[in-house]
A and B are shown apart, each in its own frame.
Chain A
Amino acid sequence: MSEKLKKVEKEPMFSSKVLKLLKNPFNLENPITVQVLGICSALAVTVQMKPAIVMALSVTIVTAFSNLIISSLRNTIPSRIRIIVQLVVVAALVIIVDQILKAYVYDVSKKLSVFVGLIITNCILMGRLEAYAMGNKPWPSFVDGFGNGLGYGLILVIVAFFRESLGSGKILGAKIIPQFMYDIGYMDNGLMILPPMALITIGIIIWVQRSKTPELQEK
């Protein structure tokens, strides 16, 4: 028994198993396109790239560290009150992130408004805590949270890229469509700024992803 435990402890920090935790959320287990979690914030904060990137980073940090903390506590949490404990940890982390955003990137924090606070209720967080952190060691849990946060962020940034470039002709606030295009009659697509188009964009991403990865196709 004790030998077995030792063997596990000797596992290298970036073993193939851990790397998989980092890699899978980008494609096969993407939180948004495959698990269909965290859709609401993906629709709300993707009008422009900058808030989307900040949101992606915030969620990544919160998922990674909440996974780490809950995983370290997992053997001491009574299972009947585990949701409350998880929420307390997540809420504390979200408040820290929120305060940092307010202190250093106030304009973005204003744009994200309520959605930073709503990270607490983001389904990805609770999903990862329940599904992974409660049953695994701190380091893999941390990597799992980090990977899922990045997988979520990736979709957010892709959606925001299309919405900002087609909807307002900018990327990260810089004009990418030259003036002469507007002079000959090009117009920004107003629908891209409205939430329905975010949903359609995510739908198209799912479509492309499924047609590229045979594992995801339902027979």
Chain B
Amino acid sequence: MKFLRDFLDKQKPQFGKGGRFEKLHSTFDAFETFLFVPNKTTSSGAHIRDAIDLKRTMSFVILAMMPALLFGVWNVGYQHFLSLGQSPGFWPMVYYGLGKVLPIIAVSYIAGLGAEFVFAQIRGHEVNEGYLVSGMLIPLVMPVDIPLWMVAVACIFAVVIGKETFGGTGMNVFNPALLARAFVFFAYPAKITGDTIWIGGLSKPEGVVDAFSGATPLSNAAAGAMEKIPDFYDLFFGFIPGSIGETSKFAILLGAIVLVVTGIGSWRIIVSSLLGGVSMSLIFNLFAANEYMKIDPMTQIMMGSFLFGTVFMATDPVTASQTTRGKWIYGFLIGFFAIMIRVFNPAYPEGTMLAILLMNAFAPLIDFYVVEANIKKRLKRALTGVKPLKQN
């Protein structure tokens, strides 16, 4: 580590005022603070500092996503060879998966960070670290066969329109990663919905096993093919087609534990989303007007990206509600709407994405009313205390 520090210190003057690369100073700054916790002292305002700053927070989120990513890489290969009717063993599957997933991750980071760096340079501020997480989340919510240029366009859209126009990291109203997915969803629906895009190579069917269907559990459910929904074991461990990171609920739960233990993700939002999802499914079970409504709550939650969304997207500290009571309401409504959209509108099989984006827009309003209610309650208490004094 010492030599890295020395190297950075040596390069530093070149990026400072009057140096050769003065224009790239925010780029340098970004890398320096990414590698080392900055040793600057605060000159004004609050002087409280936590050992874990924004960059370190982001690293923990990345860590939490690792199980889902690694499983996703393997599952991409597994599903591909399954569709060909082969089983070449563990490593070929991983290699195939890496070949598919790594380019998406690379494009996501290059396009998104590129946009961030350009903005930081023009605006003259630090490069925000928020994209470290978004850049990893975006590949996890994309189907394997997504064309890379679409990933790039979506990332740039999410960074520029979703984040920079609102003022950068910490100011965004909507979760950038979800915005990127929503962008692709509405702009290029053919590449992100349907049955043939979830498995690598299936869109060019050569040598695919007869009658093999690449449909996800959700699209099976939306089509009314309830008998094709995999059993609990497959759903939970994720041996199913789907977006890269969403399939294994087990890996997602591992990530959830990391997030909750480190205190980065709010357990209240995760729990209340699950409650919301379960209660909506129970309400549907009560009516049971069609086959989709009859699906039990457990399967509803295991299907699609419900769990992925609630663990990694809904808990985003920037776009979620900030107040404790607000978090319960926010999470509950996400779960509630996710299942509702999914069941009522077969054209949007993935309700979770739309539900979270919708609640992102409402989060400040929820906070506002929670705070107002608290003020009112306290005023009331204060005034009832005053009244007897007045009578005296």
Task: Give the B-binding residues of A (Cβ under 8 A).
Answer: 185-187, 189-192, 194, 200, 203, 207
Contact = CB atoms under 8 A, between A and B. Distances in A.
22 contacts: A185-B147, A185-B149, A186-B149, A187-B147, A187-B150, A187-B188, A187-B190, A187-B191, A189-B187, A189-B188, A190-B186, A190-B187, A190-B188, A190-B189, A191-B183, A191-B186, A191-B187, A192-B187, A194-B186, A200-B161, A203-B165, A207-B165
B333 to A, nearest CB: 22
A189 B189 CA distance: 9
Given A185-B147, A190-B189, 17 more contacts: A185-B149, A186-B149, A187-B147, A187-B150, A187-B188, A187-B190, A189-B187, A189-B188, A190-B186, A190-B187, A190-B188, A191-B186, A191-B187, A192-B187, A194-B186, A200-B161, A207-B165
Across chains A and B, which 8 residue pairs bring their CB atoms closest together, nearest first?
A191-B187, A191-B186, A189-B187, A190-B187, A185-B147, A187-B188, A190-B189, A200-B161
Contacts of B165: 203, 207
Interface of B: 147, 149-150, 161, 165, 183, 186-191
Contacts of A207: 165
Contacts of B147: 185, 187
A185 B203 CA distance: 13
A200 B150 CA distance: 19
B342 to A, nearest CB: 21
B229 to A, nearest CB: 29
Q: Point out which of B161, B186, B191 has the most chain A C-beta atoms below 10 A from its C-beta.
A: B186
A182 to B, nearest CB: 12
Contacts of B188: 187, 189-190
A207 B183 CA distance: 21
A187 B147 CA distance: 10
Contacts of B149: 185-186
Contacts of A194: 186
A43 B190 CA distance: 25
Nearest to B148: A185
A190 B191 CA distance: 11
Contacts of A192: 187
A54 B51 CA distance: 62
Contacts of B187: 189-192
A189 B150 CA distance: 10
Q: Point out which of B149, B187, B191 has the most chain A C-beta atoms below 10 A from its C-beta.
A: B187
Contacts of A187: 147, 150, 188, 190-191
B174 to A, nearest CB: 12
Nearest to A185: B147
B384 to A, nearest CB: 45
A19 B232 CA distance: 74
Contacts of B191: 187
Contacts of A190: 186-189
A187 B183 CA distance: 14
B183 to A, nearest CB: 6
Contacts of A189: 187-188
A185 B165 CA distance: 30
B176 to A, nearest CB: 15
Nearest to B184: A191
Nearest to B150: A187
B159 to A, nearest CB: 14
A104 B161 CA distance: 41
Contacts of B190: 187
Nearest to B191: A187
Contacts of A186: 149
B319 to A, nearest CB: 18
Nearest to A167: B187
B346 to A, nearest CB: 18
A191 B165 CA distance: 19
A190 B161 CA distance: 17
Nearest to B187: A191
Contacts of A185: 147, 149
A178 B149 CA distance: 18
Q: Point out which of A186, A187, A192, A194 has the most chain B C-beta atoms below 10 A from its C-beta.
A: A187
